[in-house]
Structure 1
């Protein structure tokens, strides 16, 4: 691995995909690896990276394949490849005793990475508004989202991706559609900007990856301490089908539910979320 300049660079995965990453802080400090949500990029973690950098940690955030500044490839837009890509990043940066923090789709990616590739390299796991165990409605998951709702995402993306991303950012993602909310045009635009940097094909296929992947067995395999955070007003990943079930499946978990917090609470309530994560990783 050769960084293009200090603080960022690219790693090449097992199938020769180039993945962009940011890597800030002392190389001998404990690393924190951030896994972003759909259809965003490592930029979604700016607040957390600055916060934990100031606390003395080494902070790393990558752009998932087909997202942000990473290569816009045709294939591999599934959780197995996402996790394998993270494993390539971790190996090439030689990260050990790492804390992995995943939001939404990134929570699924982090879960699969820690379960399948993280043995001996991971200290703790944090899931924020994360998609595990399973979002899709199935006979064994009757409270999940119906496939028609997910097909709606795909249809809207194919028809007018820019409009879909505008609507998500200004509506359910941050709870800006709720009565009494104070929308931020800058926050919504930054979400839209990140989404439009990525590849439409990756985002289209990513809907299946985040909604139809069953993480039940992955969660059962994880034995490192895990913190599971979720807002009870999450309109994207409903609380009832996610965090409490993940916390039950994990061997060593702490569950915290925030009243009224939206899906994008790591942005809208960064001061609260950052402190709770800091308390967890330092205890």
Structure 2
């Protein structure tokens, strides 16, 4: 079976490759994508002998397009349901962007209390909170996220094309080489999901304050981000994460974009492997 049904009746799709007695690595994808965004990492770590697992968030990819539960609480509980179904132990959880918020929520609220987590990795991730707030000033204004909602509602297909062709991979930078297959694959993944899940997910990834989740992540945690991330500004993300996490190792990549896991996969995979085996 490649799906499970959660307690609230939502069907969640997942992949589970590799030896079942090997150390598991579970990957948590970004908005508005799917587990397919981890192809470069899943193939690499499968070939390194790990058990690799990834799921499609509710409303994304091949998971059910339900009209409820599009928030970090449900994202974390869905991940916990997959972990429990597969009985993953001593696992490394790696999250990108919104998936990093999901990792923080899962590890803090489910993984550590259940003793299932060995390490965590936050890659270009949204915690503690993207929005400019009194607790964490200096974030993005609400108008930025209202703009995302308006663009998505007006023409999701065009909006997703502009994100993929432009800031996500840094292809809008002078001298950047556009890689059309990469942006086509991003668009494909986004359009597989529910427009409602994507619309409501903007609130989840931008307004959820995960300060307490980060403080509760007592396992060794690797924080990775590029300093040319045009989607999640690293000074309000990776640098704050490093201050709040109890046991953080941080690496900022000069010139790398939000989509560095794909366009700089060779560098990222080597650093992830060194952390996991270290």
Shared fold, TM over 0.5: yes
CA deviation profile, 1:185-234 (whole Å, cap 9, x unmatched) = 00000000000000000000000000000110000011100000000000
2:168 alignment partner, SS class: coil
Aligned ranges 1:35-74 → 2 under 5 Å = 35-74=28-67
Q: Kindly provide the CA deviation profile for residues 40-82 of structure 1, in whole angstroms up to 9, marking residues without a partner as x.
A: 0000000000000000000001000000000000100000000
Distance 1:278 1:212 in 2: 32
Q: In the alignment, what sits opposite 1:112?
A: 105
Which residue of 2 is the match for residue 211 of structure 1? 206
Q: Which runs of 4+ in 1 moved over 2 A?
A: 139-142
Aligned equivalent of 2:134 = 139
Task: Find the counterpart in structure 2 of residue 282 from structure 1.
Answer: 277
Structure 1 residues without counterparts, runs of 5 or longer: 4-8
Match of 1:13 among 6, 27, 33: 6
Structure 1 residue 262: deviation in Å?
A: 0.2
Report Cα offsets for 1:85-140 as digits up to 9, x if no partner: 00100001100000000000000000000000002000000010000111001223
Residue 117 of structure 2 is aligned with which of 111, 122, 125? 122
- 1:3-24 Cα deviation digits (max 9, x unpaired): 1xxxxx0011121100000100
Q: Structure 1: how far apart are the matches of 2:153 and 2:109? A: 33
Gaps of 5+ in 2: none
Q: Provide the residue aligned with 1:223 in structure 2.
A: 218
Q: Is 1:261–2:245 an aligned residue pair? A: no
Residue 90 of structure 2 corresponds to: 97
- Matches of 2:136 and 2:157 in 1, distance apart? 32
Q: Which one of 177, 180, 190 corresponds to residue 185 of structure 1?
A: 180
Structure 2 distance, partners of 1:224, 1:144, is 27
Tell me the TM-score normalized by structure 1: 0.97
- Mapped to 2, the partners of 1:180 and 1:249 lie a distance apart of 36
Q: Which deviates further from its counterpart, 228-237 or 244-253? A: 244-253
8 Å CA contact 1:14–1:85 kept in 2: the answer is no
- CA-based RMSD of the aligned residues comes to 0.5
- Count of residue correspondences: 276
Could you tell me how far apart the structure 2 residues matched to 1:32 and 1:280 are? 12
Question: What secondary structure sits across from 1:171 in the alignment?
Answer: helix
Q: Is the 8 A contact 1:35 1:62 kept in 2?
A: yes
TM (normalized to structure 2)?
0.99
CA contact (8 A) 1:18 1:70 kept: yes
